[in-house]
């Protein structure tokens, strides 16, 4: 079976505490018609203590064009993607010329040539490398990238795959959008990147064994999560119903997935889930009847980094690898995204 060999998470240079961002939001939204004083409780209840961003906080105090935001996106994505990849090469001992396939995941900016093409030049990857940029899967993108690599490696058991995910959620902040969604996004989202090395079973390297995947799409749910495209950039869309959807759908979705392997939820020791927010984590716990700190690592990553869209689940994965590698325990990796959809994998640590 294909294996996850190593994962390397990185963050951009500007660290902000939740208190600092709360003060920014209090001032920025003061003249809006929103009930700002009441909404500020979102910062307190978010479970987030700090986040990282590609630009300093003063950058957000003035209006920015889509062009300005996207120029920062391209530059920062290349820098973070390179850092994560070089960290990964150092951790794993893999050399850039040994990579056969590059998968790049992002949904917070645009680039053609895509960021993966730029990383091939920056990292000195081979000229015959295959590559696939994955765009538009939002928070589900990290898990989907892993699944994409898994299915490729089933047919190419001698190959190595480099998965790079970069999300610069902060750049999508709309300075003149005084909606509740934009306010709540200010309390949740951060920037980050991660690189993951995967290999086919003939490579002969130890790692996290990948046993299978499942994609789930819920029809007529396009309005749950996504972007509106404005002249000033990308405007976040996410429904307040997401925790309720998780509570209602998670168990049946996981039961269906695991039944294909003659397993039940009781067989799963670790849940490597995208921590979209404190309420989402709580909804997973309630739906799946999880106790004894099963989602402590998810909460820890949310507390330390906020919601970094597709990247976050890879941070959770990296922490599980660091703590539980070679434990021979089953885990489920899963994340939700626009569509509305879920991407899930069954692995053995």
Band (176; pLDDT cuts 50, 70, 90): confident
pLDDT tens for 249-272 read 899 999 999 999 999 999 999 999
Is-contact 109 171, C-beta < 8 A? yes
Higher pLDDT, 220 or 129: 129
DSSP state of 203: S
Q: Which residue has the tokens 């995204």?
A: 337
Is 139 catalytic? The answer is yes
CA dist., res. 140 & res. 145, Å (int) = 9
The secondary element (H helix, E strand) that includes residue 113 is: none
pLDDT, position 91: 97
Q: How many percent of the chain have pLDDT more than 70?
A: 100
Q: Which residue has the tokens 């906020």?
A: 306
Q: Stretch 210-229: mean pLDDT, rounded?
A: 86
In this structure, the strands spanning 130-135 and 101-106 are: parallel
pLDDT, position 337: 87
pLDDT tens for 304-328 read 999 999 999 999 999 999 999 999 9
**pLDDT over 90 (residue 177):** no
Residues 6+ apart with CB under 8 A from 207: 3, 4, 5, 6, 198, 199
Domains of the chain, start order? 3-199 (3.40.47.10), 208-348 (3.40.47.10)
Across 2-11, 22-31, 177-186, the highest mean pLDDT is recorded for 2-11
Is-contact 171 181, C-beta < 8 A? no
**pLDDT over 90 (residue 217):** yes
The secondary element (H helix, E strand) that includes residue 9 is: strand 3-10
pLDDT, position 254: 97
Q: Exactly one of 139, 169, 298, 341 is catalytic; which is it?
A: 139
**pLDDT over 90 (residue 139):** yes
Residue 240: other Cβ atoms inside 10 A: 11
């Amino acid at each position: 079976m294909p294996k996850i060999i190593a994962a390397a998470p990185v963050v951009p240079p500007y660290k902000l505490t939740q208190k600092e961002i709360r003060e920014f939001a209090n001032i920025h939204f003061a003249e809006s018609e929103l009930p700002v004083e009441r909404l500020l409780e979102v910062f307190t209840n978010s479970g987030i203590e700090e986040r990282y961003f590609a630009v300093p906080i003063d950058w957000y105090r003035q209006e920015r064009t889509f062009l300005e935001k996207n120029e920062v996106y391209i530059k920062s994505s290349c820098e973070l993607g390179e850092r994560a990849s070089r960290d990964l090469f150092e951790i794993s001992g893999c050399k850039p010329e040994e990579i056969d396939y590059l998968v790049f995941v992002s949904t917070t900016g645009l680039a053609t040539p895509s960021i993966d093409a730029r990383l091939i030049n920056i990292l000195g990857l081979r000229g015959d490398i295959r590559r696939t940029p994955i765009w538009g899967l939002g928070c589900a993108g990290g898990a989907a990238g892993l699944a994409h690599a898994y299915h490729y490696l089933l047919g190419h058991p001698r190959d190595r795959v480099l998965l790079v995910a970069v999300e610069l959620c902060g750049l999508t902040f709309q300075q003149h959008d005084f909606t509740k969604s934009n306010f709540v996004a200010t309390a949740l989202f951060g920037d980050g990147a991660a690189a993951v090395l995967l290999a086919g079973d003939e490579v002969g390297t130890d790692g996290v064994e990948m046993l299978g995947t499942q994609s789930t799409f819920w029809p007529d749910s396009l309005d749950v999560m996504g972007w509106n495209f404005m002249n000033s950039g990308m405007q976040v869309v996410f429904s307040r119903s997401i925790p309720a959807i998780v509570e209602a759908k998670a168990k049946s979705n996981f039961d269906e997935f695991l039944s294909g392997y003659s397993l039940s939820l009781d067989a799963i020791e670790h849940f490597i889930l995208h921590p979209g927010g404190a309420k989402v984590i709580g909804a997973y716990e309630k739906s799946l009847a999880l106790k004894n700190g099963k989602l402590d690592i998810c909460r820890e990553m949310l507390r330390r980094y906020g919601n970094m869209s597709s990247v976050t689940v890879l941070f959770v994965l990296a922490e599980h690898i660091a703590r539980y590698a070679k434990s021979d325990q089953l885990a489920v990796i899963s994340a939700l995204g626009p569509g509305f959809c879920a991407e899930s994998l069954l692995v053995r640590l």
